Structure 1
Amino acid sequence: MKLTYIMALVLLGLVSCPIRVSAQLAQLVDQPQVNTGSQSQRPKFPDNSAPTGRRKGGTSRDGCTPLDTPITALVPGQEITNESKSFLTFTISEHPTFWVFVPELPINTVSGEFILQDENDKNIYRASLSLPRKASVLGIQLPRNLQSALKINKNYQWYFKVFCGDPQQMPEYFYVKAWIQRVPLNSNLESQLKKTQSREYTTYALNQIWQDALTNLATLRRSNPNSRIFTEDWTLLLKDIGLAELATAPIVEVESDEEASTESN
């Protein structure tokens, strides 16, 4: 219960402007206080300006059977219209994992596709995906090669698409779109991570590195399905970004098909 309460406080910083973390809170989680130096040196979630994204894929589309629940990118932000809000997350990983919720799909669903592009719409990585038939939270990891590695302080946009309809024709699709930026691993963050090796997500959350907080906790919850703490913290994490209803979905990692490729143009 103690850790769950702390997570409720910690995760408030993920969906708001950076805040100073009190020394008392830092002691409670047995880790150093987050660096409260210059606010401008810490990553911040953007406002409604660029880059913009699409957190939820529409529940209906011509040629596709309507979905009861939309496809959803697990990123902070509240969508006002289709593409009116910034959905930018941070990572320290060269090859991060991207997370989406996919509901139970109709029988005319063909396949999924993941695309990573730079700010100039150049494809960095593109892969076809085999999708589970049951509603799930999917983790899609970039291949560990030089071509798909994220560069520090660069913005990348990513798409997840689910195709449906006749594969012999131009298929329709549902899609979500978000952004990610890799930030440097500084000595302060590295020191904090060493002291919270069994629950790194608390450190990532304090430093507003959403992508890695989500990935670390998803991995722990998947490998420890009977852990009450990880289950409760996973629910809190998704609740803090307005997606608590997705917390009970099973977590799976998706393998890209053999034709997946890294593209140079």
Structure 2
Amino acid sequence: MKLKNIQKIFFISESKFIIILLLAMFSCTSYPLTLIAKSQQPASSGNQPPQDGSSRGRPSKRGGAGSRGNCPSVEVPLIALIPEKKVGLIVEENATFWVFVPYQPNDVFGGEFVLQDEANNDIYRASFTPPEIPGIVSFSLPSTVPLKVNKTYQWYFKLYCNQQQRLDSVFVRGWVQRIALTPNFERQLKAATTLRDRIQLYIQNGIWYSALTELAKFRFAEPKNTTLDNEWASLLRNIELENLAKKPLVGEVKIKQ
């Protein structure tokens, strides 16, 4: 075989080897390259509220946790009416929180509400009197404790079952973040002709606390309105707490002076 033909064959073989090698290298690196490309995408501008409240998810304690040594056994535990494992959003600066309390007044000797920042620093702390009957209660922050826009807070609702030892408690913990309404969302709210439309807008955008409080206020005003009862059950079904739909709305707990 002539030398030129040998060189030509060698060149073709070498070229195929290089192509195969490049293809193999590309197939091994394509996944990391995809991840890098995604990580370099621009972040959301923040013009729209999060759709599910999970953009800054934090672990919560929706069901009662803590020492239950002197707390009586109950069929349904202490429960916060919040989305599980998500940050609930709110648009109002003065927040209201809702909790189902299963205990009789003689079983609980006191309660405490605590609001903290993300670094566990106390912002507000107050003792309250437990409700007179089991049911869903609320706790509203005073006007002197407004929530700041785009700040995330954690809150605790505690009940003490031992008059002598305050460490013997049961509690729930949740997270809340206040957001500013965008002009577009404000227009949508103003265009909503029914309470149901407003509630649906809140839920679709993860604004849980505003939805719950607004509907609860209407139920207090019209306790025999079956339509509102159905809306309440539907709302709680969104967070898989439909078992609380029939529990009575007791009202706001009284802060101890």
Quickly say closer, same or farther: Cα 1:119–1:94, change in 2 above 3 A.
same
- Are 1:99 and 2:98 matched, yes or no? yes
- Mapped contact 2:67–2:169 kept (Cα < 8 A): no
- Are 1:163 and 2:160 matched, yes or no? yes
Report the counterpart of residue 54 of structure 2 in structure 1: 46
Shift, 1:45, TM fit: 3.0
Which has more radius of gyration? 2
Report the counterpart of residue 229 of structure 1 in structure 2: 227
Normalised by the length of structure 1, the TM-score is 0.72
Quickly say closer, same or farther: Cα 1:91–1:76, change in 2 above 3 A.
same
Query: Where in structure 1 do 4 or more consecutive aligned residues deviate above 3 Å?
Result: 37-42, 168-171
> What is the total number of aligned residue pairs between the two structures?
211
Shift, 1:93, TM fit: 0.8
- Are 1:119 and 2:156 matched, yes or no? no
TM-align CA RMSD? 2.4
Matches for 1:29-108 after TM superposition, within 5 Å? 41-43=48-50, 44-46=52-54, 51-58=58-65, 61-77=68-84, 86-105=85-104, 107-108=106-107
Quickly say closer, same or farther: Cα 1:255–1:103, change in 2 above 3 A.
closer
Describe the SS at the equivalent of 2:59. Answer: coil
Report the counterpart of residue 20 of structure 1 in structure 2: none
CA distance in 2: counterparts of 1:205 and 1:112, whole angstroms: 30
Quickly say closer, same or farther: Cα 1:227–1:117, change in 2 above 3 A.
same
CA distance in 1: counterparts of 2:76 and 2:109, whole angstroms: 18
Residues 236-264 of structure 1, C-alpha deviations (whole Å, 9 max, x = no match): 111121111111112133244243xxxxx
CA distance in 1: counterparts of 2:87 and 2:248, whole angstroms: 25
Q: Amino acid of the residue matched to residue 224 of structure 2?
A: N
CA distance in 2: counterparts of 1:97 and 1:139, whole angstroms: 7
Describe the SS at the equivalent of 2:219. Answer: helix
CA distance in 2: counterparts of 1:174 and 1:130, whole angstroms: 15
Q: Amino acid of the residue matched to residue 226 of structure 1?
A: K
Report the counterpart of residue 31 of structure 1 in structure 2: none
Shift, 1:198, TM fit: 4.7
Percent identical across equivalent pairs? 37
Quickly say closer, same or farther: Cα 1:113–1:197, change in 2 above 3 A.
farther
Quickly say closer, same or farther: Cα 1:127–1:197, change in 2 above 3 A.
farther
Q: Amino acid of the residue matched to residue 91 of structure 2?
A: I
Q: Which runs of 5+ in 2 are unaligned?
A: 1-43
Residues 55-88 of structure 1, C-alpha deviations (whole Å, 9 max, x = no match): 00049712332233200010112xxxxxxxx231
Report the counterpart of residue 250 of structure 2 in structure 1: 252
Report the counterpart of residue 137 of structure 2 in structure 1: 138
User: In terms of mean alpha carbon deviation, does 182-191 or 59-68 score higher?
Assistant: 59-68
Shift, 1:111, TM fit: 1.2
CA distance in 1: counterparts of 2:49 and 2:181, whole angstroms: 12
- Are 1:202 and 2:195 matched, yes or no? no
Residues 69-119 of structure 1, C-alpha deviations (whole Å, 9 max, x = no match): 200010112xxxxxxxx2310001111111111113362310111111111
Describe the SS at the equivalent of 2:64. Answer: coil
- Mapped contact 2:105–2:130 kept (Cα < 8 A): no
Q: Which runs of 5+ in 1 are unaligned?
A: 1-36, 78-85, 260-265
Residues 6-40 of structure 1, C-alpha deviations (whole Å, 9 max, x = no match): xxxxxxxxxxxxxxxxxxxxxxxxxxxxxxx9899
Normalised by the length of structure 2, the TM-score is 0.74
Q: 1 or 2, which has the higher helix percentage?
A: 2
- Mapped contact 1:67–1:105 kept (Cα < 8 A): no
- Mapped contact 2:115–2:156 kept (Cα < 8 A): yes
